[in-house]
A and B are shown apart, each in its own frame.
Chain A
């Protein structure tokens, strides 16, 4: 017979399997398993006795709580409609018209991504509040106008600010994938502009459109920051959870409402996922990008529309800055920096600010590493297919888990030193409880809260990198981790930087995931904005918001600068991702 090669077992494959299983365990423990104590809690009373569906029944029978559910739906549907509409028109202007100053509009359109929803709401107070610039007609110089900010109106305006850039990003990329030839063909068949729009444009972007509906729905259905600040007595589910947990110490009811918040989000998520499954690229590689033609009427209308949107966005930001600089609005409008002192107001001086900056740096570093490595293992290898598919599914799930729900489930999961095994007198040590009360749990919550978007963008990039690189490396006896470091990472560097900056900015502005979670010893700035607003120190809240926005913008500038350098360096590879 033949000599049998005696080293059939490959160390690399073994290592790979171990890594995949390891990542699987991590995503399970960080995404799925913490939800279990939340579910359990929703079936228990406050003394941890099992009471079945009683909480849910109590909830349905409490008219003020069910009203919140209806309110949340109203907010979500209205916001989604307007955000997608505005996002679509703006995106259309950017991609399909000869909008003047397009670059400017493009850059500044995403400006509101760097303003925390909380800060948007605070800005709105200074514009539309009882003493707001517009309500009082710019300190009485022109007739004022009261939009009745506190309540539904304020929430809707704030949420649109928050959601419209998200819709915009999705729709711009959907609209960018166009084929000039289709329009030329339609023109040669004498199709009217409306017909072209209905038969070419809309079908081409239907997945993007659906996706932006879904994103805006979930964001506005679950957002906490805006209703917290300008909601007045208009209760929504998110503020209810906060009130139940914080005001009434009723964790069981908080958990129950969380389920009511979670279920529609997950449903929306599944519908979208199912819908996107059918997506097949209608645009072939040979398509010619659409080149908009000059149209004076359309271009001017778009210019006016986009300018209005930008004026609003910049107006909100300016009013935040202005509010932070004015001594006592509206009685003493001299400028001063006293609101930046934070010494006698809720929230421990500058400590929360620096904590937040460091939390965001840690999130950016560890989050990027974790997300990219997870995507890499899922995307690039063959072993353990089922487990990799599960990792993929778990990784796409966090976008449907509202921040408050994530925070509440983390607190319930991570503060338990051990778990008792049902029916057995046996305790399992919970190693993750060591994270409780440290910066680590905040970083982890942020990593998971924003995981999906980062994961999808990492996966998309990795998909574009030739799968044969791994096979060639194998044939050259180079272990996968060397190829990962030497080839995959350099090729993905633009995306990696993008993920890092996304993580940083979102960690700076987020509040919902960490408001229940921040350790007493580590106050964070977005929570202190809530506290300052709660305590009535609105000007200081505006000052802290200003700091957050400026920091985010500063980091974004560093990112732009670095990524320009990176792309200069890699320009010799000439778009290596396009094959």
Chain B
């Protein structure tokens, strides 16, 4: 089949826009999806990710723009003429058909003989690990099992493209993470080009080859999970993928110094920042150190004295919510490993010094 992943564009989304009257839902979306790739559309509700998926499927029609699938222009093709399988959040399993009949539903409409249908249905049941449940009705299956039937049904016609619309969000946490792995495995096994819509960043980061972060109808950033986490290009992406503290201040590009209230922070040199002046400083909570018990604080750079406002236990780490005395309303989050908090006996109301790791500081254009 395909020699190398990502070697050719399977799906091209060209300048797609969608508006309802005056309101834009999608604005000039360009996106290429490679053969065999697992792509996630990630964003908060209302960002247009589901609409984009539905436009790809033909269930919704774009206002402008084109879609090319496997070299064919399908912009105006009706849904039933497009080559894809879809799984909905609600599974949409036919309640009056059992698991097997649900999976065979699309096959029975094709002119395939019964034996062949039987064989393929059984293969699919095996693929999703439900051989034993073939005669059960959806209501007799657990949520996870239902989702697997829905997945098998979507793959029954061997589509070139698999579309998943928030497939896991109705499941509880444990089942969800198990299914994540299974879907990913099946997808890789079949080398099936897959687009999944989700609002859950953990899901996106753990499953996708590439993630498309969407914000209010446009693409904020496209990249591998690692790229997005390490190099978010907008404060929105930065805060949506993981957590990031954003402090508004002034940048002195000559000296590579960022002024926040009357604190100054040294910033690693970076040509990209050269045009910034009033901007945002971004730092992830885990990139802030507590340095309460060190001496010679004055010699160290990028230090802030803060007061602990809240301590939240998150398992292996604690998240501290701290504030500057001069700006009580702005919360800064600091992640510290648990024993550090326990051994230092940190309490609400304590004053501590924190240090922002210089090499981890990012600057963003301020559009706030």
Contact = CB atoms under 8 A, between A and B. Distances in A.
* A/B contact in complex, CB under 8 angstroms: yes
Interface of A: 1-5, 7-10, 12-13, 466, 468-469, 471-479, 482, 486-487, 490-491, 570, 572-574, 576, 579
A550 B80 CA distance: 51
* Those 7 A-B pairs whose CB atoms lie nearest each other, nearest first: A476-B106, A576-B95, A10-B78, A468-B92, A574-B139, A474-B79, A573-B95
B139 A572 contact: yes
Contacts of A573: 95-96, 137-139
Given A7-B81, A471-B86, A491-B95, A477 B74 contact: no
Given A471-B79, A579-B90, 9 more contacts: A3-B72, A3-B73, A12-B80, A466-B92, A469-B92, A474-B59, A476-B109, A478-B109, A572-B137
B68, B77, B78, B139 pick with most chain A CB within 10 angstroms: B78
Contacts of B110: 477
A579 to B, nearest CB: 7
Interface string B150-167: 000110110000000000
A490 B96 CA distance: 7
Interface string B66-105: 0010011110111111101110101010111100000001
B269 interface: no
A476 B92 contact: no
B71 to A, nearest CB: 6
A476 B83 CA distance: 9
A572 B101 CA distance: 15
A456 B59 CA distance: 27
A474 B80 contact: yes
A479 B68 CA distance: 24
Interface of B: 57-59, 68, 71-74, 76-82, 84-86, 88, 90, 92, 94-97, 105-106, 109-110, 137-140, 153-154, 156-157
B59 A471 contact: yes
B279 to A, nearest CB: 43
Contacts of A10: 78, 80-81
Contacts of A13: 78
A477 B106 contact: yes
A487 B80 contact: no
6 contacts: A7-B81, A475-B82, A475-B85, A476-B106, A491-B96, A572-B139
B94 A475 contact: no
A216 B73 CA distance: 58
A365 B85 CA distance: 38
B96 A570 contact: yes
Contact of B71 (A2, A477, A491): A2
A10 B79 CA distance: 9
B85 to A, nearest CB: 6
B338 to A, nearest CB: 36
Nearest to B61: A382
A8 B74 CA distance: 8
Nearest to A1: B73
A491 B96 CA distance: 7
Contacts of A466: 90, 92
A7 B72 CA distance: 12
B109 A477 contact: yes
Contact of A2 (B57, B72, B97, B138): B72
A386 B85 CA distance: 31
Contacts of A475: 57, 79-80, 82, 84-86, 154
B32 to A, nearest CB: 14
A476 B59 CA distance: 13
Question: Quick one: which of B82, B94, B140 has the most chain A CB within 10 A?
Answer: B94
Contacts of A8: 76-78, 81
A285 to B, nearest CB: 14
Contacts of B153: 472, 476
Contacts of B77: 5, 7-8
Contacts of A9: 78
A7 B58 CA distance: 14
Contact of A5 (B73, B95, B139, B140): B73
A477 B78 CA distance: 10
Nearest to A579: B90
Contacts of A469: 92, 94
Contacts of B58: 474
B192 to A, nearest CB: 15
Nearest to A476: B106
Contacts of B82: 475
Contacts of A490: 96
Contacts of A482: 109
Contacts of A574: 139
Contacts of B139: 572-574, 576
Nearest to B98: A572
A476 B138 CA distance: 18
Contacts of B137: 572-573
A137 to B, nearest CB: 60
B272 to A, nearest CB: 37
A1 B66 CA distance: 12
Contacts of B85: 475-476
Give the one of A4, A469, A477 with max B CB within 10 A: A477
A487 B96 CA distance: 7
Contacts of A487: 94, 96-97
B156 A476 contact: yes
Nearest to B85: A475
B54 to A, nearest CB: 8
Contact of B88 (A1, A12, A472, A570): A472
**Max chain B C-beta neighbours (<10 A), residue from A3, A7, A472, A490:** A472
